[in-house]
């Protein structure tokens, strides 16, 4: 049984979505960040960053939402959320998950907190907010999903960031993003979570 340490209104939403898409049984362990539960000594042994989400699976701890999505999609190929290692789509799949963690997330967070642009944008992994959004558009425009007709964990990870970015108004509501969200937003797993008050 997969144990998922989560908190309402947090990045653990992405991993809840992945679990719901996979249909795998899992146990939710509430680690409410509004009460500081993520800094309790027992939890710090699981994630020394004192952050959610984290999972424990077969005695192994995995933290970082992107790693959890990638790990679980590979651990349970029957869920159909990851191209196999020898599938030519594997490169595209990994590329956009890593882009989500390395570029989309910092770009959106910087925008949300009005961090000033730096002069030497070439020294930033994500370059600039505009560059990141332009690149993201190229991934989503062909559609319907990042891997074309195939929905994958890359759509869960990237889609959760787009959904959050649009919600907090830190992501420009470009037509490509809105159309993509119409498609992934229709996923029954996401609808189920959004309707649940506690996600």
Ligand X SMILES: N[C@@H](CCC(=O)N[C@@H](CS)C(=O)NCC(=O)O)C(=O)O
33 near ligand X, judged by CB under 6 A: yes
Residue 64 lies near ligand X (rule: CB under 6 A): yes
Nearer to ligand X, 65 or 156 (CB): 65
46 is a contact residue toward ligand X (CB under 6 A) = no
Residue 38 as a binder of ligand X (CB under 6 A): the answer is yes
Residue 108 touching ligand X (CB under 6 A) = no
Spell out, one character per residue from 116 to 155, where the chain touches ligand X: x when CB under 6 A holds, - when not. ----------------------------------------
Query: Which of 50, 80, 127, 185 contacts ligand X by CB under 6 A?
Result: 50
- Does residue 107 bind ligand X (CB under 6 A)? no
Q: Please count the residues of this chain forming the interface with ligand X, following the rule CB under 6 A.
A: 10
Q: Does position 52 bind ligand X by CB under 6 A?
A: yes
Residue 11 contacts ligand X per CB under 6 A: yes
In degrees, rounded to 5, the angle at the alpha carbon of residue 27 between the alpha carbons of residues 160 and 163 is 10
Q: Which residues of this chain interact with ligand X, rule CB under 6 A?
A: 10-11, 33, 38, 50-53, 64-65
């Amino acid at each position: 049984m997969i144990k998922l340490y989560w908190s309402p209104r947090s990045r653990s939403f992405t991993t809840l979505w992945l679990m719901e898409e996979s249909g795998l049984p899992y146990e939710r362990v509430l680690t409410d960040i509004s009460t500081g539960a993520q800094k309790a000594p027992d939890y710090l042994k699981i994630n020394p960053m004192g952050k959610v989400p984290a999972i424990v699976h077969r005695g192994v701890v995995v933290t970082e939402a992107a790693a959890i999505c990638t790990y679980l999609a590979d651990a349970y190929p029957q869920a159909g959320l990851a191209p196999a290692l020898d599938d030519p789509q594997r490169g595209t799949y990994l590329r956009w998950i890593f882009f989500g963690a390395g570029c989309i997330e910092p770009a959106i967070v910087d925008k949300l907190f009005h961090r000033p642009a730096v002069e030497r944008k070439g020294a930033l992994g994500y370059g600039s907010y505009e560059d990141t959004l332009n690149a993201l558009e190229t991934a989503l425009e062909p559609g319907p999903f990042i891997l074309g007709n195939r929905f994958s964990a890359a759509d869960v990870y990237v889609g959760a960031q787009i959904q959050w970015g649009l919600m907090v108004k830190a992501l420009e509501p470009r037509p490509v993003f809105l159309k993509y969200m119409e498609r992934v937003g229709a996923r029954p797993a996401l609808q189920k979570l959004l309707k649940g008050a506690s996600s």
